[in-house]
A and B are shown apart, each in its own frame.
Chain A
Amino acid sequence: MNNLQSLSLYLPELILTVTVLSAIVFDLFLPKEKSPKVGWLVFGGLILSGMAIWVQKSPTTTLFMDAIVLDPFAQFFKLLIILATLFVIIASQVNSELDGYSQGEYYSLLGILVFGLFLMVSSVDLISVYLSLEVVSIMSFILSGYLKNDKRSNESALKYVIYGAFSSGVMLYGMSLIYGIAGSTNFFEIQNQLVGGGGEYHLIFVIAVVMILVGFGYKISMVPFHFWTPDVYEGAPTTITAFLSVAPKAGGLALFIRFFHQVMGDGVALEGNGFLTTTELPWPQMVAVLAVATMTLGNLVALQQKSIKRMLAYSSIAHAGYMLMALPVLSADGIQSIMIYLVMYLFMNLGAFFVVLYVKNKTGNETFEDYSGLGWKMPILGIVMTVFMVSLTGLPPTAGFIGKFYIFASVIKGGSQFYWLAFFGAFNSVISLYYYFRVVKVMYLEGAKSDIIESPNQPILGLLLATSVPSLFLGIYWQPVIKWVENSFHFFTQIL
């Protein structure tokens, strides 16, 4: 579709852009202490944009002369990202870490980040991919270093920026090699070229794919490209950590799915059928191994952590591993299960971070000791945190279980050659129990019991309910999620 026609279908992004611009302008007129108000502007803009997405007749087409696509799959991720961002914006309003900083930029940059994610989930061109990754990365660098007076925040930004620049550089080099092989940056043309002979096995192709994986893997914290995750998550403002653990990960996975199925495969899986890789490169096996490595490492190291925030960082690595497990199966079920998992993951992971946020607001700390006896002091917080931990472990009847269930189901449906993946996933769930329940143990079985009961304040309570109720309810009745995912399972694709 040409550029002008595309504009009408680009309404959500346009709304977002306008929102960001007006936020920047709005910020200029606000005194520093009123700057959090910008958040509500962005909040409104996001809702509008979300509504625009919701009402869009989901045509499956390319926009802007094949630079991006518009399809229900992308819309699904956009809505997911908006949802996560809305939660984070509310949480940011009560994040006491941000006190004393002018917060206008915080929300504007968050808006730009969301814009970048929108682009990421709909990219079908290496240029758009690179651009979107950079937008997301650069905004993330800034946001994680937002607490300028906090050394840990500074440090996390520095690590993030070096790591990010390096990763995107390597990925870029890999993309240049792909461009050299295919002569194009467009996914569909690359796919054609690969099938036409460029896909035969050659070392340069391996190198190119691995280099691209460095970039993608960095975005979704896949082992061995995950090293930045714990340090950045620990140092960044908690709300940003929560955001990073959900939204860019979702975007990265969407990109991952699209790239591997459209460029490296025949795209049939995107139509809901069987699947073949178009290259001789055994990348599904590679991804499978990486998935196992990711969840195992995430879980094993999470066992060791003293800080709950950092533990959650590793746990988010492990969850990336679970989701990646469904990728090598190369089936529609696999992709759908990842989408389902993301929905479930959004609620439980954000919720857990919000509890961390609240405790940090209260005690200024985030180690396990700070949680001792919490279940008695703040019963609601304790119960809600227990729900999140149970859900993250993947026990019924919580959303986390349903997510895992669908992942395992798609893996097992993939045939007996994938059973080992399911076993690894299963054992990892057992290991994860140990550290998730350390939180529960600390909250309930340790520390002095207190008779004074504290109740969290309204916005936090609302956030916790808004995340914990779905975490529980979606474990009991998740048909709507399935429907949504099934309806969203339409790609703009070209089948060979």
Chain B
Amino acid sequence: MDQLVNYLYISAILFSLGLFGVITRRNGIAVLMGVELILNAANINFVAFSRFGGMNLSGHVFSLFVIVLAAAEAAVALAIIITIYNSMQTVNVDDASSMKQ
């Protein structure tokens, strides 16, 4: 609990799980959840480093911005997923592969 590395391990696991989600989930919204995991992992890092780096709060501010931007990004991503759903009746990202090579 007072060890930096504990937090870092947790964040590393979260990050890896997030990556895995992004890579493997077919549903666009699930992919988005994976992205949220990645962002949370980074946030844990920021806050943890801030705590063990002399409590300079730029880490906190950074993660604050990340949360805000995550919200914006999620909104836009969902809007895009919804347009895809409207036009293709699916939210599976691997169905959207008409453009390739």
Chains A and B touch each other in the complex, with CB atoms below 8 Å apart: yes
Across-interface contacts of B9 in A (CB, < 8 A): none
B45 and A173 contact, CB distance less than 8 A: yes
B87 and A151 contact, CB distance less than 8 A: yes
Are A176 and B45 also in contact (CB < 8 A) when A141-B80, A165-B77 are?
yes
B66 and A172 contact, CB distance less than 8 A: yes
**A122 contacts partner chain B, Cβ-Cβ < 8 Å:** no
B37-71 CB mask vs A (1 if < 8 Å, else 0) is: 01101110110110001101011011001100100
Across-interface contacts of B72 in A (CB, < 8 A): 134, 138
A162 and B100 contact, CB distance less than 8 A: no
B62 and A179 contact, CB distance less than 8 A: yes
Rounded to whole angstroms, the CA-CA distance of A155 and B11 in the bound complex is: 32
Across-interface contacts of A154 in B (CB, < 8 A): 80, 83-84, 87-88, 96
**A183 contacts partner chain B, Cβ-Cβ < 8 Å:** yes
> How would you classify the secondary structure of chain B's contact residues: helix, strand, loop or mixed?
helix
Interface size counted on chain B using CB atoms at 8 A: 47
Distance in Å from the Cβ of A69 to the closest Cβ of chain B? 17
Residue in B48, B76, B98, B100 whose beta carbon sits within 8 Å of that of A161 in the complex: B76
Closest chain B residue, CB of each to CB of A127: B62
Distance in Å from the Cβ of A307 to the closest Cβ of chain B? 9
B38 and A170 contact, CB distance less than 8 A: yes
Rounded to whole angstroms, the CA-CA distance of A89 and B98 in the bound complex is: 28
A230 and B38 contact, CB distance less than 8 A: no
A185 and B42 contact, CB distance less than 8 A: no
**A126 contacts partner chain B, Cβ-Cβ < 8 Å:** yes
Are A145 and B100 also in contact (CB < 8 A) when A180-B53, A184-B56, A185-B58 are?
no
Distance in Å from the Cβ of B60 to the closest Cβ of chain A? 11
B88-101 CB mask vs A (1 if < 8 Å, else 0) is: 10000100111111
**A159 contacts partner chain B, Cβ-Cβ < 8 Å:** yes
* A137-161 interface (Cβ within 8 A of B): 138, 141-142, 145, 148-149, 151-152, 154-159, 161
Across-interface contacts of B98 in A (CB, < 8 A): 151-152, 155
**B17 contacts partner chain A, Cβ-Cβ < 8 Å:** no
Rounded to whole angstroms, the CA-CA distance of A162 and B91 in the bound complex is: 12
A165 and B80 contact, CB distance less than 8 A: no
Rounded to whole angstroms, the CA-CA distance of A71 and B100 in the bound complex is: 41
A158 and B84 contact, CB distance less than 8 A: yes
Across-interface contacts of B43 in A (CB, < 8 A): 176
Closest chain B residue, CB of each to CB of A172: B42
Distance in Å from the Cβ of A238 to the closest Cβ of chain B? 14
Rounded to whole angstroms, the CA-CA distance of A8 and B31 in the bound complex is: 43
Across-interface contacts of A126 in B (CB, < 8 A): 62
A155 and B84 contact, CB distance less than 8 A: yes
Across-interface contacts of A157 in B (CB, < 8 A): 80, 83-84
Distance in Å from the Cβ of A244 to the closest Cβ of chain B? 15
Rounded to whole angstroms, the CA-CA distance of A282 and B26 in the bound complex is: 38
Distance in Å from the Cβ of A113 to the closest Cβ of chain B? 13
**Can you list 8 A-B contacts (CB < 8 A)?**
A130-B69, A141-B77, A145-B83, A157-B84, A158-B80, A169-B35, A177-B45, A180-B49
